Amino acid sequence: MRRTSEERAGARSSSPRPRRLRRWPLAGSGAATVLVLSLVAVALQFGSTASAADAPKCSDTVTSAPTGPATVSVASTSFGKVLVVGSGDYAGCSLYLLTSDQLHGLTGVHFACSNDQNAINQPCDTFLWPALLTDGAPIAGPGVDPRLLGTVARTDLPGLGTVQQVTYAGQPLYRFFLDETPGETSGASLFDPVTSPTGIWYLVEPTRGLPAPGTAHLQLETAPLGGSGTNQTVLAVTMDHGFDLLDEGAFPVYTSSPGHGHERGKGGEGKDHGNGNVCRLLCAQYWPPVLTSGRPEAGSGVDQHALGTIKRPDGSLQVTYRGRPLYLFDDDAYIPTLPYNGGAPVINGSGADTLWGVFRTIPPSS
């Protein structure tokens, strides 16, 4: 999805570098490239319909319209209680939401996980993150609030025409192609540059349909400023919990402060300059809040006493550092070997003066 000029100005009106996508050749990336291609090849095998005798797997590709209502249930995981498929071939398979899918409701644009072209050359909504489809109203299993279940029409799933995808608290639900068996959570808290636009995949807690991020872990990370500038060591948060290519990958975090008289952002979004009026709605699509399910943990070189939380308007917990809410930047997302930021850590948002304030990284001495 291409951003409008207004959206680009809002995300980073004085940003130091252009959009993160770099078309680096995958062939020269060594062992990590082999791993990427192997994962996709294995997933293709899992999703193949060549052998009817193969037992269904959570990783299976969506290849046909549903023939009955889907059931959603709850299972206990290391992230707490989360939504899973409740019955049928994929019973017990973990379900995920994508934060950038919210743009569909906010602006009417297409879904962030769709059949758009991407660096893996596989459709997001049927292959990488198979959509949970239903024929008829979805059924609430034990622990699921039936008032939060719903559907949304999808016309972008290759070869399926118009189908209904299950939603929870308005968010479309998906499986993940690297979850083979029930109980696996390989896609948890995955900061994903492959979707368009970038978003974060979260497991879903059943009470209100909020992300289930687990405990946030803050550490120090060294990365180049603007992708090719001087290396800087900054405060970062680990993401991509359990993801084969980047387990516990670290991404820089940011605070915001007033900039050039911007008192309120577009769409009624306030700013958070330490007063609890947090970046949300469109702002949060470009600057996702750092979420946690409990007290955040400090790694080496990080002051545990400086970490805290605030409750966001939707009830989720956002990590703070010395009382300031922390954010990620969507242009910092990467996956090793894929052509987003060269497949390596980067600091792209430092000093960005936006409609919602100026976002800055946090050096170790702060």
| Segment 327-364, tens digit of pLDDT | 999 999 988 888 888 888 999 999 999 999 999 999 99
| Segment 42-79, tens digit of pLDDT | 444 434 443 344 789 999 999 999 999 999 999 999 99
- Contact call for residues 236 and 313 (beta carbons, < 8 A): no
pLDDT of residue 338: 85
Share of the chain above pLDDT 70, in %: 78
pLDDT of residue 229: 81
pLDDT of residue 269: 53
Judge whether residue 270 has pLDDT over 90.
no
pLDDT of residue 340: 86
Band of residue 17 on the pLDDT scale cut at 50, 70, 90 = very low
pLDDT of residue 258: 83
Q: How far, in Å, CA of 36 to CA of 222, rounded?
A: 24
- Contact call for residues 15 and 356 (beta carbons, < 8 A): no
* Sign of the alpha-carbon torsion through 92, 93, 97, 101: negative
pLDDT of residue 263: 47
Q: How far, in Å, CA of 128 to CA of 122, rounded?
A: 7
Please classify residue 313 by burial: count the beta carbons closer than 10 Å to its beta carbon, then call 0-12 exposed, 13-18 middle and 19+ buried.
exposed
Query: Going by DSSP bridges, is the β-strand pair 199-204/96-98 parallel, antiparallel, or unpaired?
Result: antiparallel
Q: How far, in Å, CA of 289 to CA of 112, rounded?
A: 18
